[in-house]
Structure 1
Amino acid sequence: MIMIDVFRREVLAKITAAIGLSSLGAGRTLAQEPNEYNVGTASPAAEQAASDVANEVSRVLNWDGNEKTITGIYSQEAIDNLDNRPDVRYTEINGTYQAISETLPWGIDRVDANVAHSNDETGGDDTDGEGGAHVTIIDSGVDYGHTDLDDNYIDGKDFVNDGGDAMDDYGHGTHVAGTSDAEDDDEDVIGVCTAAHLHAAKVLGSDGYGSWSDIAAGIEWTANQGHDVGNLSLGGTSYSQTVKDACQYAYDDGVLLVAAAGNEGPRGNSVLYPAAYEEVIAVSATDRSNDIARFSSTGPEVELAAPGVNVLSTTLGGGTGEKSGTSMASPHVAGAGGQLMDNGYTNREARTRLRDTAEDIGLSSTEQGHGLVNVAAALSDSSNSSPTVDSLSLTEVETDVDAEFDADWQVSDSDGNLDSVDLTLTDDTDSETEDTASIDVSGDSASGTTRLVASGDDGSGNNYTAELVVTDANEASSSDTATETESEDTTDASTPTIKSFSVSTRTTGVWFRAESDWAVSDADSDLDTVTTELLDANQNVLDSASSNVSGSNASGSHEVRTRSSDADVVKLTVTDAAGNQTSDTRDV
């Protein structure tokens, strides 16, 4: 491991040599020999061209759509020609990042992870054998034979040596893994998680360095496996579009990415990449006195702080040892993220929750971000935020006898503790309650349409108000109201039509995903919404997606997903502006 404060000059020289002179603005005119480049393409033609002119292609990374990155050996002339193509997004020499660690390393107690453990929060399987967070250490590998890691370790992949397992040959990844997920087995140390599913993407070699392409491939693999958290205790001073593409891809696919801010010292804006990318949580390091560690990078990109001085964790070959660095701080946050995602949070919700519950330790925002990560507070019921009414609307439904209305609603809870939605319909003329409804909900979001009826009333001009109260499992609640005036319009409204509806499914890691492709129409040209719901056998909504539409024809697609094994059908519902609906289902 490289001591940042002692060998800084040597390290910077090695980084400069590794990334090439192009990062300093001089490399393109001096480099005559073929070099390894990353070529970002935006079309199949560009991909073919990049492959054709390469002396050798070592890797193809697939992002969304037609965007790809080709890693290979190229002559300067080939790169110059590719740079002139409008469908080539970028070319860059395949530089390196290094393990960010040590200057001299405790922290589980300080972030109150042990309090979470006492409340049976381990990040691991539920009592029925389902669930459990999947945490990937994107580093130098993991010593999966270590007695404090072996029961949690699931699998890994070696991107440095193009295949094989991810056994650590440097020691850095093993130390990081222990902080995030060491077992509670009365031996050695204990992690922030103690039973999460542990994975390793080996992207750093035995010298602690890894190419941008290898690192991007490790991030891509983490996303494609459906893992929840990726920890990146590595970095460098140079921006890499290849690694940026990988972070964007993984974050959009649901991965919570956490990275060490760097050991460049508190000298202004010194946060390294990939921590500086917006898709990544940048973590600074603190000491036992809640001061910023003397080696820790600082800057506006810092999002959270965590212990990083004299941190005791697992070491290569067995046993424990102390290390210092933002590399040691980052896995505290990664483990906290794993705990939240084991409790049903998405990556974005977990990121917000970690920010909202962080402890202000009196440092500047460029030093601590939102504060020191607090695992117990993030998981504590007592600190749960109130649920939110995201939307509520009331639409009259034309009938001959009753005044009927559809209440369309959507609610959410950042803590994932939704419990019930209660609706009350009141006639504003006499303040009489006309109808009520109660719906059981769960998780972090729910939506629906509820019919409310003022029986026997077919007058006009009366105002009706629907009040919605959403309550979470801790009895915290929020409410909202919507009002509609009963009209005299008794014209028959046409019912919207589902012209086509197909569903395709796939499973990536722990996620089951279903994509609905649909086309709808309405003779009155008043299309309003199209909603896709993933239901279990009891018609409970596991996930939903909705699109606002208009006019007489509309088409599109939705993706819904679940980590439950209970998915049964996909339901499509089209609604027009008058509240008329048509639904259809497909088995999955």
Structure 2
Amino acid sequence: MIEIWKRLVLPVLLAGFSLSALAAETHDRLLLRLQEGVDETAFLQRIGERFARDFVIQRRLGYTLVLNFTPALPRTGAADLAVQVDSLPEVMYAQLPGGRLQPQFVPNDALYPNQWHLFDTYGINAQEAWDRTRGSSSVVIAQVDTGILGHEDLDSGRVLPGYDFVSDPFMANDGDGMDADPTDPGDAVAQDECGNGNDAADSSWHGLLVAGIMLATADNTLGVVGVDHRARLLPVRAFGRCGGDFVDILTGMSWAAGLPVTDEADNPIPDNPNPADVINLSFAGSGSCDPVIQDIIDQIRARGVVLVAAAGNEGMPDMSSVLPANCTGVIAVAATTRTGDRAGYSNYGAEIEISAPGGEGFESILTLHNTGDITAEFDDYAAFNGTSMAAAQVSAAVALMRAVDGDVSPATVTSLLINSAQPFPGGSTCATTICGAGILDLDAALQQVAQSGSAAVDSGGGGCMLAGQDRHDLGLTLLLTLLLVGRLAGRRASNP
């Protein structure tokens, strides 16, 4: 197994005090400095008579006086008073001191200083966004993936009952086909076990690492921090050994959205009591988005669900054959590096809506993992690269947008993400013609959604690759050669 970052020992980042102003309803103070030689007592008497207010010195800051005046004034009136006092010949300056201030939220998670994708220049600007909202427990993020594992840094109270839609018992690797347990039993394979000459591969724990990027517990001194701190996770298992059956994937997507579905024998599967606001699709397959697939996508979106898909990790310049990112209405996400360039492995093209950090080389994305090579063992943290990472950040951004305005439509979400994106830096290998509108800017997106309506603020190509690897995936390249109603041709697994 490729050696990855494990149990990194890093100093805890203490909460900082980058301050943001809160407006006060009324004001009763001025900051004032008098010209040299002006008598303070006489001056205060004169302005008291002129402005019909009592002025007293509250405190001194060197030569600057903090004046208290009564009665207080609304902000506009107080600002006018400051302008008039400032215009007096005896005054060097006079101005309002501003309202109260509060510290910016900075999580204390031990590895947060290394999560550059959240706060760096070409990260997603999450730290500023968290002062607008840290999420809402009423918002549900579904992820169609390998399932989920428990982890010390993933709040089990935020993980909803999901479902396992892997219908083939061999692929499911848990003793049966579809069932109500979305736990990831591992997807390790021996050489040529999938019948296509595949290499041996350890379990990817892909569902866990994607969930960590979106929802890892914040401010608990442990490990990493997710993008959204309050949304709930709906784990939908559709991938196992040797990849995923596309009909299983579509079934899981439909169920996540609240559509009725049945099993292999056409028996009804219990309805999903927690329909998703956003469905994360951190995988990519090969095929066109034909009318049948597009119709299912349309049914999902008609229920108000936002779909976010990875662009894929083959470095291809043509997205027309990359499922499901090539479907109309799906937000296709490419991956960028720490410097704002296109990650070399990321697919690209006119179909991309937006980019987000996916990492490259050792400038990777830290998240949750497990030490087990075959079956789950111990909680772990590791760093990965891939468009899976980028898509997960956009899905969590959508969840935060829904926390600000629960009624914002899928089309509006896409438009706001595009309009608020951070431009690519000059000289970047990304451009709006191939990498979407820009790099996800979470704070700007939340500002725009708050202004857009009645809001009130409070794998396959899409898999990932291990940090330092040259191969473009983590057990889930999932080359899903689509058969309209059949299984993947050859059940091809991905290269780790």
| TM-score tier after normalising by the smaller chain length | 0.5 to 0.7
Give TM-score scaled by structure 2 length.
0.53
Distance 2:419 2:313 in 1: 26
Q: Which amino acid is the alignment partner of residue 313 of structure 1?
A: T
Within 5 A, what are the aligned runs for 1:23-422? 106-109=116-119, 110-117=123-130, 119=131, 121-125=133-137, 132-160=138-166, 161-168=177-184, 169=186, 170-184=204-218, 185-207=220-242, 209-224=243-258, 225-239=274-288, 241=290, 242-269=292-319, 272-309=322-359, 310-316=364-370, 317-344=378-405, 345-362=408-425, 363-380=430-447, 384=448, 415=450
Aligned residue number for residue 461 of structure 1: none
Deviation at residue 443 of structure 1 after TM alignment: 4.7
Distance 1:245 1:254 in 2: 15
Whose relative contact order is higher, 1 or 2, with alpha carbons under 8 Å and at least 6 apart?
Answer: 2
Deviation at residue 243 of structure 1 after TM alignment: 3.7
Distance 1:270 1:181 in 2: 31
Distance 2:321 2:133 in 1: 32
Q: Aligned to 1:415, what secondary structure does the other structure show?
A: helix
Distance 1:144 1:259 in 2: 24
Conserved? CA contact 1:151–1:183, under 8 Å: no
Distance 2:230 2:321 in 1: 31
Give TM-score scaled by structure 1 length.
0.45
Distance 1:240 1:369 in 2: 19
Aligned residue number for residue 437 of structure 1: none
| Shift in CA distance, 193/107, structure 1 to aligned 2, threshold 3 Å | same
| Shift in CA distance, 171/165, structure 1 to aligned 2, threshold 3 Å | same
Provide the identity percentage.
31
| Shift in CA distance, 366/167, structure 1 to aligned 2, threshold 3 Å | farther
Deviation at residue 196 of structure 1 after TM alignment: 0.6
Distance 1:326 1:417 in 2: 29
Q: Aligned to 1:352, what secondary structure does the other structure show?
A: helix
Q: Deviations over 1:283-332 (max 9, x none)?
A: 00001111100000001110000010111111134221111111111001
| Shift in CA distance, 187/151, structure 1 to aligned 2, threshold 3 Å | farther
Conserved? CA contact 2:140–2:233, under 8 Å: yes
Conserved? CA contact 2:421–2:437, under 8 Å: yes
Conserved? CA contact 2:279–2:306, under 8 Å: yes
Deviation at residue 145 of structure 1 after TM alignment: 4.2
Deviation at residue 265 of structure 1 after TM alignment: 0.5
| Shift in CA distance, 226/148, structure 1 to aligned 2, threshold 3 Å | closer
Q: Aligned to 1:305, what secondary structure does the other structure show?
A: strand
Q: Aligned to 1:312, what secondary structure does the other structure show?
A: strand
Q: Which amino acid is the alignment partner of residue 123 of structure 1?
A: G
| Shift in CA distance, 243/315, structure 1 to aligned 2, threshold 3 Å | farther
Distance 1:181 1:120 in 2: 17
Conserved? CA contact 1:271–1:299, under 8 Å: no
Distance 1:378 1:203 in 2: 31
Distance 1:222 1:276 in 2: 20
Deviation at residue 246 of structure 1 after TM alignment: 2.5
Conserved? CA contact 1:138–1:218, under 8 Å: yes
Q: What is the root-mean-square deviation of aligned Cα atoms in Å?
A: 2.4
| Shift in CA distance, 164/195, structure 1 to aligned 2, threshold 3 Å | same
Q: Deviations over 1:344-391 (max 9, x none)?
A: 2232222211111011114322432011011111113xxx4xxxxxxx
Distance 2:215 2:316 in 1: 29
Distance 2:305 2:150 in 1: 23
Conserved? CA contact 1:262–1:270, under 8 Å: no
Unaligned ranges ≥5, structure 2: 3-114, 167-176, 187-203, 259-273, 371-377, 458-496
| Shift in CA distance, 210/322, structure 1 to aligned 2, threshold 3 Å | same
